[in-house]
Amino acid sequence: MSSPVSHRDESTDLSPTVTNTSVDLEPKKTGKRVLSCVLCQQRKKKCDRKSPCSNCIRLKTVCTPSLPAPPRKRRRPNQDLLERLARCEELLRHCTCIRLPTPEHSPPNQREESPLSLHDGDDLKRKRSREPSPTEAE
């Protein structure tokens, strides 16, 4: 069983066909979108983007196509970020060069206890074990 074939007279066919005419290629060449008219944009109405559009015909006004916004300047954020990163790295290198020696690099007799180690539970136990208890002091 074969599929039904429509027999239309091609001379009366009003459906759009895909051909290589200048009309078909024009929107592809320009690449511009057709925007809503000014009135439809102001009234926030759906524009059919014809000239004149149906809303302007109904309101009996002049249909003025809106202009696209000017192209925005392309920024180079990556370049800006790379420059800032390089500056931060340079500042970091400079700060590490002038930093005082750390306790692990200084001689053992010059090491000071850090404030954090004073609060360590083991250090407190050791200090308490060295101090005489109140009963021993009497």
Cis amide prior to 107 (ω within 30 degrees): no
Neighbouring C-alpha atoms within 13 Å toward the C-beta of 43: 12
φ/ψ of 33, rounded to 5, equals -85, 150
Contact 56, 37 (CB under 8 A): yes
**What does pTM read for this prediction?**
0.32
Q: Give me the residue spans of the domains in the chain.
A: 24-59
Between 3 and 76, the higher pLDDT residue: 76
Contact 103, 111 (CB under 8 A): yes
| Residue range 61-119, pLDDT digits in tens | 999 988 888 888 777 668 888 899 999 999 998 888 776 666 665 555 554 554 554 44
- pLDDT at residue number 90: 92
Q: How far apart are CA 21 and CA 53, in angstroms?
A: 25
| Residue range 14-58, pLDDT digits in tens | 444 444 444 444 444 455 678 899 999 999 999 998 889 999 999
The DSSP H or E segment spanning 122 is helix 121-130
Comparing 2-16, 70-84, 121-135, the range with the smallest average pLDDT is: 2-16
Q: How far apart are CA 24 and CA 18, in angstroms?
A: 8
